[in-house]
């Protein structure tokens, strides 16, 4: 039996492991969480030399890829650190898009407050300012007026806005449209699109409240063929650009798009799967997902597939998320029949305890979208913890 190691501890990692387990693999997680234990083994690795013990290693988040976990390791499914710059550095990725004629918002790079002021003057409000490096989803500021943009942008540059994040910023033209997550599997040469999904980023029902890592998702999202071809063109240009720059890329490639008048613009590249997009992607068609990943891992030909089911993921979050989630509450399941992926959950003396902002992902699957949605919401009734909240409008 082939041994797979999933790196990470969120719902995304639980979902990937669940799909591989169902396909007959022996699954381990590093470090995993209280839910991944139902699917495989949680292991503690004190150093990455031990990655050789596994046939396939799949890093869930960008963190390890940017640090080079895939460099010179053939068994890691993901780009090496040169490819991971697409996500690890916003300046690199915007300049990459410019070099290869990939549609994106107009932009400037600013390294200090004088350059920031000059850059902002060339745009209209609202102003979009992005940290260059990884900032755990907090690195994008949207400011309504010039003085707010100057104040926050300057703080972002000098490291006083987000702890541990400083340096140059990208100032982007604000794009108005609708967002779509387009994710493909790349086999080192070609790509195959995964089903399109929609992520709900704001915390509360009706798109209110602060931005989060994602409060739910559904898929497949149906789009017209014209737009689909335009998106394929964006992936094609991206892979061509990588080849021209001698960057080998094998793994997942996630393009966050803003669709403006039916034209896709790249907001960001991610070098991994999304969370909660993955929970939806794997449950729509687990076997096909695994089959394509394994083929791409072996540099074999891959093909786009079409799931027969819709899937809906409603995130159950803990009060205070995203800024300051309450932790430590006991999680009680009133039945064993629920379908959840676990995220911020830990085990303490045999009890399940809230240990993060996004706690559980409630999943509904059906051939009909409305029914999949109903199932995801019905499923929520089988669990409770104090301070639990969720959006009422996922997939509506």
- Determine if 268 is a binding residue for ligand AMP (CB under 6 A): yes
Distance of alpha carbon 232 from alpha carbon 237, whole angstroms: 9
- Determine if 10 is a binding residue for ligand GLY (CB under 6 A): no
- The phi-psi region of residue 101 (left if phi > 0; otherwise alpha if psi is between -120 and 50; otherwise beta) is left
Residue 81, CB-side half-sphere exposure with 13 Å CA sphere: 8
Cβ burial of 40 (10 Å; 0-12, 13-18, 19+) is: buried
Helices 277-284, 286-297: crossing angle, 10 deg rounding: 100
**Is 153 in contact with 169 (CB distance < 8 Å)?**
yes
Q: Out of 256, 263, 365, 387, which residue is the one contacting ligand AMP (CB under 6 A)? A: 256
User: 108-129: buried (b, 16+ CB within 10 Å) or exposed (e) per residue?
Assistant: bbbeeeebbeebbeebeeebbb
CB atoms near residue 12 (< 10 Å): 27
Q: From the list ligand AMP, ligand GLY, none, which binds 199 (C-beta under 5 to 8 Å, kind-based)?
A: ligand GLY
The least distance separating ligand GLY from the CB of residue 53, rounded to whole angstroms, comes to 28
- Determine if 40 is a binding residue for ligand GLY (CB under 6 A): no
The least distance separating ligand GLY from the CB of residue 277, rounded to whole angstroms, comes to 6
Q: From the list ligand GLY, ligand AMP, none, which binds 393 (C-beta under 5 to 8 Å, kind-based)?
A: none
- Determine if 212 is a binding residue for ligand GLY (CB under 6 A): no
The least distance separating ligand GLY from the CB of residue 177, rounded to whole angstroms, comes to 17
Cβ burial of 95 (10 Å; 0-12, 13-18, 19+) is: middle
- Determine if 214 is a binding residue for ligand GLY (CB under 6 A): yes
Nearer to ligand AMP, 191 or 269 (CB): 269
Q: Out of 270, 292, 318, 362, which residue is the one contacting ligand GLY (CB under 6 A)? A: 270
Q: From the list ligand GLY, ligand AMP, none, which binds 87 (C-beta under 5 to 8 Å, kind-based)?
A: none
Distance of alpha carbon 33 from alpha carbon 50, whole angstroms: 20
- Determine if 275 is a binding residue for ligand AMP (CB under 6 A): no
The least distance separating ligand GLY from the CB of residue 252, rounded to whole angstroms, comes to 11
The least distance separating ligand AMP from the CB of residue 322, rounded to whole angstroms, comes to 13
Alpha helices in the chain (DSSP H): 11-22, 62-66, 81-88, 90-99, 113-121, 146-158, 225-244, 277-284, 286-297, 369-380
Give me the residues paired with residue 182 across strands: 255
Stretch that binds ligand AMP, among 25-33, 166-174, 334-342, 368-376 (CB under 6 A): 166-174
The least distance separating ligand GLY from the CB of residue 276, rounded to whole angstroms, comes to 6
The least distance separating ligand AMP from the CB of residue 334, rounded to whole angstroms, comes to 35
DSSP string, 242-254: HHHTT---EEEEE
- Determine if 175 is a binding residue for ligand AMP (CB under 6 A): yes
- Determine if 199 is a binding residue for ligand GLY (CB under 6 A): yes
- Determine if 275 is a binding residue for ligand GLY (CB under 6 A): yes
Question: SS3 of 113, please?
Answer: helix
Q: Out of 119, 128, 156, 280, which residue is the one contacting ligand AMP (CB under 6 A)? A: 128
Interacting residues toward ligand GLY by CB under 6 A = 199, 213-214, 270, 274-275, 277
Interacting residues toward ligand AMP by CB under 6 A = 105, 128, 130, 140, 172-175, 179, 201, 256, 267-268
């Amino acid at each position: 039996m082939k041994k797979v190691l999933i790196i990470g501890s969120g719902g995304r990692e639980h979902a990937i492991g669940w799909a591989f387990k169902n396909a007959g693999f022996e699954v381990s997680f590093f470090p995993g969480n209280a839910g991944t234990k139902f699917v495989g083994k949680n292991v503690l690795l004190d150093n990455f030399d031990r990655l050789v013990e596994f046939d396939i290693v799949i890093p869930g988040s960008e963190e390890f890829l940017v640090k080079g976990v895939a460099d010179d390791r053939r068994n890691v499914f993901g780009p090496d650190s040169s490819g991971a710059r697409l996500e690890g550095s916003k300046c690199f990725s915007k300049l990459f898009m410019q070099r290869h004629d990939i549609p994106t918002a107009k932009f400037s790079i600013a390294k200090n407050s004088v350059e920031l002021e000059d850059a902002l003057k060339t745009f209209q409000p609202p102003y979009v300012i992005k940290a260059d490096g990884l900032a755990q989803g907090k690195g994008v500021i949207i400011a309504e007026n010039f003085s707010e943009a100057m104040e926050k942008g300057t703080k972002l540059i000098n490291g006083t806005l987000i702890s541990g994040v400083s340096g140059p910023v990208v100032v982007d033209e604000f794009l108005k449209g609708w967002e779509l997550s387009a994710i493909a599997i790349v086999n080192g040469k070609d790509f195959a699109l995964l089903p399109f999904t929609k992520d709900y980023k704001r915390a509360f029902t009706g798109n209110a409240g602060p931005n989060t890592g994602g409060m739910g998702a559904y898929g497949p999202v149906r789009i017209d063929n014209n737009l689909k071809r335009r998106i394929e063109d964006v992936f094609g240009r991206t892979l061509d650009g990588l080849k021209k720059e001698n960057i080998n890329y094998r793994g997942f490639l996630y393009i966050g798009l803003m669709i403006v008048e039916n034209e896709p613009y790249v907001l960001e590249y991610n070098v991994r799967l999304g969370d909660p997009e993955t929970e939806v992607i794997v449950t729509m068609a687990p076997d096909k997902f695994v089959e394509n990943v394994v083929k791409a891992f072996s540099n074999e030909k891959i093909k786009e597939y079409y799931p027969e089911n819709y899937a809906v993921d409603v995130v159950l979050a803990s009060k205070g998320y995203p800024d300051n989630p309450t932790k430590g509450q006991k999680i009680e399941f009133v039945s064993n029949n629920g379908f959840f992926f676990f995220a911020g959950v830990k085990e303490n003396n045999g009890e399940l305890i809230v240990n993060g902002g996004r706690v559980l992902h409630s999943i509904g699957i059906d051939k009909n979208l409305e029914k999949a949605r109903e199932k995801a919401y019905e499923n929520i009734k089988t669990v409770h913890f104090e301070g639990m909240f969720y959006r009422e409008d996922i997939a509506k």
